[in-house]
Structures are given as structure tokens and as C-alpha cells.
Amino acid sequence: MKFKERVFSGMQPTGSLHLGNYLGAMLKWIDLQKTHECIYCVVDLHAITVWQEPGELRHAIRQVTAAYIAAGLDPEKSILFNQSQVSAHAELAWVFNCVARLGWLNRMTQFKEKAGKDRENASVGLYAYPNLMAADILAYRATHVPVGDDQKQHLELARDIAQKFNNDFAESIRTAGYEDGQFFPQPEPVIVGPATRVMSLRDGSRKMSKSEPSDLSRINLTDDDDTIAKKIRKAKTDPEALPSEIEGLAGRPEADNLVGIYAALAGSGKADVLSEFGGRQFSEFKPALADLCVARLGPIAQEARRLMADPAEIDRVLVDGANRARIIAEPILGEVKDVIGLIRAAS
Ligand code: AQP
């Protein structure tokens, strides 16, 4: 089957979004909506794999939606919704729980990192998270998935699940009219740009993350201008001047990170940044980076705050998006049920 090009991606409402989410994924989302049919989700079912205070979760779902729109996602053009409103995600995830193998999930590094030493106490949902992510993507037969570098392994698992489903039910899939046996596509990760893995501002060896206790480690999309400037000023660096060539960033994770952030915000490459700032000290580079961050992120924070003043409108956008998402996902889920031998009401 020739699959229509379709984009799917999502973010967890586990707190406010940060610069890593923005540069690693969202900039590409905004680009892709110019050329592709795009489905962007607030993945609230993923968020509850770790306990969330209900009031805060509700707030975070709206806040992430506001950030999506403020950053440039157009809810008229793209489909924007929260995952839990479209039950096809959870239903298909159950099917995939029965397709994926324990050995596959045991290899997932994100589970190991998030469960830490207390594995026995982690939720079953956290363990099965990649199966739900595969369902998010394949419920729409999405072909392209723009994500940060940390999601590469989960994307590979989604591809394995698609392949195994196609193999396990090959005969039934052909009987259903898919002559080439391709019921699900192999979704392609889209991991591009100079900042596919933005690191903590306090430790260049750790990913910038919502759940990192130190707020100084990340720039939130809700931070005001002074806070952004302060966080950049306090960002960890080394004592050397910036190199003139990219090779000079090797072994200097903090410098590499800040140069990557500058390049992504400026819409250029690391080489361009170094040709401008090579040989200069961080005391000169940091104020320029802070100005650029404020110029790019300040208006997003301001617009998100304006949108958050009208939660009913945000909820309306999510309901509208969910209605449009269901129109795509439900027939695909219906076919999945037919292919695996379940009985459903005739449509
Ligand atoms: N530091 C990062 N650099 C580049 N991309 C990143 N992404 C996340 N952190 C970085 C990308 O943002 C998208 C949404 O991520 P998510 O919210 O689903 O969850 P996550 O990857 O687990 O992000 P966090 O911030 O680390 O959340 P917590 O702390 O709650 O676990 C994905 O495309 C991701 O690649």
C-alpha cells in the first residue's frame, strides 16, 4: 500500500515545556505543517505513567496546548488535541501490548533511566509506554515523526511493532485487500537541526528535562525575559574561549550545547555561530545568546499567557481536534479489529 505522508508527534503535559522540547521537536513541527498533514497531540495518557496531581495535570494539558499555539502551531491547519479524548490510542496500545515482546521493552533505556533503582515500584504503564507511543503514531498510519534524539529508540520499536503486526497477520491483511501485506507503514523519525538533544544548563552530560529538580537547568517556555537572561548567565561553561571550528567543540559539552542552542534559535548552523564568535569568551557570547533567547521565546511566553486566560477556548480547540483525529483513527482501528479476528458492529 502506498501510504499518504502524514506527520504525528506529541509532548507530555508533565510540566511546562522547555527549550529542549522547542528546539528538538517543535521547530520542526511548525515547519512541517507548511507541507504536510500534521497531527499534534498532548500525550496526557503518557503523563500518567508517573503519578500526577489531577489539578496540575489539567492545568498542564492546557498550558502545553497554549504553548503549541503560541509557538506557531495553527489549530485550523493541523489537528491539535489531547490523547485521552481519542480512545483509539488506548485500544490500539492494548493490541500492541500483545504484539511487542518483553525482550524488546527490556532494552528501552528511557524506562531504565526513569524507573531508576526502584524498578519494582515503577508503574506497568511506564514500562509499556513505548507500545502506547507506537499506537499514537500508527493509529493514524503516520509516516513521519519529528522528535528529539532521545526518542530514536522508541521510534525503532514502533517500526518493529508495525513490521511484526504486518507479519503476524499477513494472511488476514491480504484477505482484507492489502495485496502487498503492508497494513501499517514504517514510520520515519525526523531528527534534524543543530539542537536535537539540548543538554541541561547545569550539566552538559544530562538532557534538559521537565523533571530535573533544578529549574536553573532549563529554560521554560513560560519564563519571563529576566529569568531567561539569568539562567543563561548562570549556565555552566568552561574557562576557554569559543573555538573557531566545530572540531574544537569536542570534549566541551557545555560549549557545544550553548553553540547548538544559539544556532537553532538563529536558524543557522554551529559553524556559522563559530565563525561569528570563535575566539571570544563566554562573557561576550552569553549576553548575545540571552538576547536571542529572549527575542525568540519572550513573545511565545506572552502569547501563551494570553491564551491561558481563556481556558474554555483551549478546551474547545482540543475537543475540535479530537473530533477530527477520531475521523482518521477510528476506521483504521476498526480494520485492525477485523484483521486480528475481533467482532464489531457493522459500520
Ligand atoms: N533536551 C531535549 N532536547 C531535544 N529534544 C527534547 N525533547 C525532550 N527533551 C529534549 C523532545 O521533546 C518532545 C517531547 O518530549 P516529552 O515531553 O514527551 O518527554 P521527554 O522526552 O521525556 O521530555 P522531558 O522534558 O525529559 O520530560 P520528563 O522530564 O517529564 O520526562 C520529544 O520529541 C522529545 O524528543
162 found inside a domain:
yes
C-alpha cell at 234: 548562570
Which of 244, 263, 38, 15 lies closest to 26, judged by CA?
38
> pLDDT at residue 1 above 80?
no
66 found inside a domain:
yes
pLDDT of residue 310: 98
Residues with Cβ within 8 Å of residue 106, at least 6 apart in sequence: none
- Determine the atom of ligand 1 nearest the C-alpha atom of 47: 30
Q: For residue 235, give the CATH number of its domain.
A: 1.10.240.10
284 found inside a domain:
yes
**Closest residue (by CA) to atom 12 of ligand 1?**
21
Q: Which tens digits make up the pLDDT trace of 78-102? A: 999 999 999 999 999 999 999 999 9
What are the beta bridge partners of residue 38?
7
**Does 210 contact ligand 1 (Cβ within 6 A)?**
yes
DSSP per-residue codes, 124-193 = HHHHHHHHHHHHHHHTTT--EEE--GGGHHHHHHHHHHHHHHHHHTHHHHHHTT-TT--SS--PEEE--S
pLDDT of residue 237: 96
Q: For residue 88, give the CATH number of its domain.
A: 3.40.50.620
State whether 293 and 323 are in the same domain: no
Q: Which residue has the cell 474554555?
A: 312
262 Cα–ligand 1 center, Å = 19
257 found inside a domain:
yes
C-alpha cell at 231: 539562567
Residue type, 45: L
State whether 174 and 30 are in the same domain: yes
What are the beta bridge partners of residue 65?
none
Q: What is the CA radius of gyration of the chain?
A: 21
What DSSP designation does 25 have? I
217 found inside a domain:
no
**Does 197 contact ligand 1 (Cβ within 6 A)?**
yes
pLDDT of residue 347: 65
**Closest residue (by CA) to atom 14 of ligand 1?**
11
pLDDT of residue 315: 98
**Does 152 contact ligand 1 (Cβ within 6 A)?**
no
- Determine the atom of ligand 1 nearest the C-alpha atom of 148: 35
Give the separation between CA 252 and CA 249, rounded to whole angstroms: 5
**Does 16 contact ligand 1 (Cβ within 6 A)?**
no
State whether 57 and 80 are in the same domain: yes
Phi, psi for residue 220 in degrees, rounded to 5: -85, 150
The pLDDT confidence band at residue 211, using thresholds 50, 70 and 90, is confident
- What average pLDDT does this structure show over 207-231? 94
**Does 83 contact ligand 1 (Cβ within 6 A)?**
no
C-alpha cell at 300: 511565545
State whether 63 and 177 are in the same domain: yes
State whether 331 and 264 are in the same domain: no
How far apart, in Å, are the Cα atoms of 114 and each of 57, 196, 330?
19, 20, 32
133 found inside a domain:
yes
82 Cα–ligand 1 center, Å = 17
State whether 27 and 61 are in the same domain: yes
State whether 277 and 152 are in the same domain: no
213 found inside a domain:
no
- What average pLDDT does this structure show over 192-201? 94
Residues with Cβ within 8 Å of residue 256, at least 6 apart in sequence: 204, 249, 250, 270
**32 in Cβ contact with 77 (< 8 Å):** no
**Does 198 contact ligand 1 (Cβ within 6 A)?**
yes
State whether 148 and 18 are in the same domain: yes
**Does 211 contact ligand 1 (Cβ within 6 A)?**
yes
State whether 82 and 163 are in the same domain: yes
**137 in Cβ contact with 145 (< 8 Å):** yes
Which of 106, 274, 77, 277 lies closest to 194, judged by CA?
274
**Closest residue (by CA) to atom 8 of ligand 1?**
21
How far apart, in Å, are the Cα atoms of 5 and each of 36, 151, 165?
7, 20, 20
Residues belonging to the active site: 114, 207, 210
Average pLDDT, the chain: 96
10 Cα–ligand 1 center, Å = 10
State whether 282 and 152 are in the same domain: no
CA-based torsion, 192, 193, 199, 204: positive or negative: positive
State whether 34 and 139 are in the same domain: yes
216 found inside a domain:
no
State whether 239 and 294 are in the same domain: yes
280 Cα–ligand 1 center, Å = 31
Burial 106-136, CB ≥16 within 10 A → b, else e: eebeebeeebeeeeeebeeebbbbbbbbbbb
**Does 13 contact ligand 1 (Cβ within 6 A)?**
no
Indicate the pTM of the whole model. Answer: 0.95
Helices and strands of the chain, counted as H and E runs: 15, 5
Domain count, the chain: 2
pLDDT of residue 117: 86
Which domain, by its residues, includes 16?
A: 6-196+311-340
